Amino acid sequence: MSVPIAHVARNTFREAVRDRVLYNLIFFALLLVGAALLFGQISIGIQRIVLINLGLTAISVFGVVIAIFIGIGLVSKEMEKKTLYTILSRPVRRWEFIVGKFGGLAWTLVVNTFLMAVGFFAALLLLAHHFERADGWLLVAIYFIILEFVVVTALALLFSTFSSPVLSAVMALALFVIGTFAEDLRAFAAMSHGATRLFATLAAYVVPNFASLNVISSVAHGQPIAASLILYNTVYSLLYAAAALCGAILVFEYRNLK
């Protein structure tokens, strides 16, 4: 890794860690995992399923919220506050800054997810008193959630390079919601005709397919995840994030700073 990238990433991580909003979000996520434990206790026979569904969904939703709300300010805030002036006047290339920012936030999300996952597994242990072999698939679901964060972070960063934080948040959130229903969009494209079919097919392939990254329901029922899906999701997410990151670099490389 280029040295400036590592320094920018480390500082981005430090900024996120010192942000109180982050702790509030983690607290609420853990609270929701705790609440899942309660819901589980009143759901006779399906406690585990309820706990896994609610717990992993909480980790995913709060992580996406963190990714969007920190991601949208990664570049625009630096431009607005002019902190970029003293960075880019040093031997730091613009693309290194973007990649460093991305790396810092992605690492923050990995650490957060780890902390929330510890809370989640503690709740699971509290409920069931032991782990089952099928619980290993929960780790795969958490890995997919991290891939989801990587894609969302790259998209938020891309929007952050050319629009205001509010507009970036709206676009990133909209893309996340559409991407969650990507499979439905594909099904709709298959059913429609003419220009609608063309447009829906195009949209279905352009938006990130978050639906395929969501295996929470399957792992809650103890169903295994195919190795091919793990490979496919890994390659797809990394390529999608890389494309969004390249877009962000391309925009930022030629941008005049106000």
Partner 1 sequence: MPAIETFQLEKSYTTGFWRKRRVAGLKPLTVAVEPGEVFGYLGPNGAGKTTTLKLLMGLIFPTGGSARILGMELSDRRMKSLIGFLPEQPYFYEYLTASELLEYYAQLSGVPGRERTRRVQEMLARVGMSQSARTQLRKLSKGMLQRVGIAQAILHDPKVVFFDEPMSGLDPLGRREVRDLIQNLKDEGRTVFFSTHILSDAEALCDRVAILHKGELRGVGAVEELTARTQSKVEILFHGLPAITLLSALGAECHATGETVRAVLAESQQDLALDALRREGARLISLTPVRATLEDYFIERLGERMDAAEVRR
Smallest separation (angstroms) from partner 1 to the CB of 239? 29
Closer residue to partner 1 (CB): 83 or 234: 83
Closer residue to partner 1 (CB): 6 or 49: 6
257 Rama class: left (phi>0) / alpha (psi -120 to 50) / beta: beta
Closer residue to partner 1 (CB): 130 or 254: 254
Smallest separation (angstroms) from partner 1 to the CB of 88? 6
Smallest separation (angstroms) from partner 1 to the CB of 105? 15
* Dist CA 99 CA 157 (whole Å): 10
Backbone angles phi, psi at 84, to 5 degrees: -65, -30
Smallest separation (angstroms) from partner 1 to the CB of 240? 30
Contact by Cβ (8 Å): 225, 140: yes
For 72-135, where are the alpha helices, taking DSSP H only? 76-80, 85-88, 94-128
Residues that bind partner 1 (CB under 8 A): 3-4, 7-8, 11, 14-15, 18-19, 81-93, 254, 256-257
* Dist CA 40 CA 35 (whole Å): 8
Smallest separation (angstroms) from partner 1 to the CB of 216? 34
Contact by Cβ (8 Å): 60, 142: no
* Dist CA 144 CA 235 (whole Å): 12
Smallest separation (angstroms) from partner 1 to the CB of 107? 17
Residue with tokens 């106000």: 258
Closer residue to partner 1 (CB): 18 or 193: 18
The structure tokens listed for 12 are: 């981005």
Nearest to 58 by CA among 82, 30, 84: 30
- How far is C-alpha 217 from the geometric centre of its chain's CA atoms? 18
Closer residue to partner 1 (CB): 14 or 187: 14
Closer residue to partner 1 (CB): 91 or 194: 91
Closer residue to partner 1 (CB): 167 or 229: 167
Smallest separation (angstroms) from partner 1 to the CB of 93? 7
Element (H, E) at 40: helix 20-41
